[in-house]
Amino acid sequence: MTGVKEMAIAASAGIENLAPADVAAELGRPGVLLVDVREPAETAHGVIPGAVLVPRGMLEFHADRTITSHLDGFDPGRRVILYCAAGGRSALAARSLQELGYRDVAHLHGGLAAWLRDGRPVVAPARCSGPDRTSIMSPVQLLVAAVRASIENLTPAKLATELDDPFVLLVDVREPTRPSTAASPTRCSSRAGCSSSTPTMELTTSKG
């Protein structure tokens, strides 16, 4: 079985590996996007100046322009440089961006550790770091966006048309305690024989 260490080595062989001096030189060029893929607990101790903070687990969601969680600033034609603590995660991340169509991707070989060994500076992370941090979604919002992208979404007019089909089952998944201004709900446990007089067995759960 291939381990993650071997995966990172294989990824490094297929991407551009930069030394700290190379990254420092690149940061003087316009249009270069430097991405720190470490976790917030790591970046709190310091980041490379100018870095955009995107945890590794969120990178593909923010880099993919075809979904709603895309983060402004990520563009397949832009020069993107990634780094992490030691280079493993950033190598895998760079390979992943290549698979998403990014054509000019590199990573800092050796990660932040190599940067610090080279005597390079770090700064405190900006409270709002990134091209447009307001567009970054929470994990729950990302999940909802991913689900919406994979299912059929109906407009009210389309839904009304669908309800004319006798084989369509409309399910309201809201909680029964939520107030409603609509007509009184019909109480039933199945579509067959569903009517306002149909008895319903209500299930309760007990904690403990």
Catalytic annotation, residues? 84
How many C-alpha atoms does 161 have within 13 Å on its Cβ side?
Answer: 5
As a whole number of angstroms, the distance between CA 80 and CA 72 comes to 13
Q: Rounded distance, CA 163 to CA 188, Å? A: 17
Q: If residue 83 lies in a helix (H) or strand (E), which one and from where to where?
A: strand 80-83
Residue 108: both structure tokens together: 């800092």
Collapsing DSSP to helix, strand or coil, 5 comes out as helix
C-alpha distances out from residue 34 to 26, 130, 136, 194, Å: 9, 10, 17, 59
Whole-Å CA distances, 44 to 90, 103, 124, 126, 194: 18, 30, 7, 10, 57
